[in-house]
Chain A
């Protein structure tokens, strides 16, 4: 399926350390997006990487995409307590019915300890 599967399911690090989350998917995509969800809130878009891109940066975020391995990673550098949240990857592509959609997984729960 197009659904992204994040790994690990949970990650706990000290403030200042880097956090790396991985995502795998199974079908072809047009792009892949990462979202963050704070506890009890809606998802917030972080970054979008197109299928013809290999790496993208946004502030402390670095996303890589390897379409040959159908995988992506999200790196958060110099983590802060405020980065504590769940992170979801969402492969984007066309469904069997021909409509574009994102497919989310269960996310990686990141805890940054002050």
Chain B
């Protein structure tokens, strides 16, 4: 069973469109994340939710809106897509709580291409 699964794996769309990426974890973790990895492989955190509550919100355009219906799901909706949004988006989860054990588990990524 896949621990952290995100869909779709590939997403090709036109500029200006709105799209969503879904993420689900079956590990029972309290905390979930969204990261963006650009073409230079730089992995940057975008958002983090703990038990459905937003705890990290880095400098990200407000066209990006995360939604966590329950602690096992964290979806990412992107409005008015731009060329610069092209990247690989990773979802991750961690147990939360004791920082000494706060290992993150990543999904396989969603490669977004904006044309």
Contacts and interface: CB of A to CB of B under 8 A. Distances in A.
Contacts of B100: 30-31, 48, 50
A96 to B, nearest CB: 11
Closest A-B pairs by Cβ, 9 of them: A42-B106, A104-B43, A43-B106, A99-B55, A45-B103, A100-B99, A106-B42, A30-B99, A42-B108
A97 B53 CA distance: 14
Given A30-B99, A86-B41, A45 B105 contact: yes
A61 to B, nearest CB: 15
Interface of A: 30-31, 33, 35, 40-45, 48, 50, 86, 88, 92, 95, 97, 99-107, 109
A81 B57 CA distance: 39
Given A30-B100, A31-B99, A99-B56, A105 B42 contact: yes
Contacts of A92: 99, 102
Contacts of A41: 108-109
A42 B43 CA distance: 11
Interface in B60-113: 90, 92, 99-109
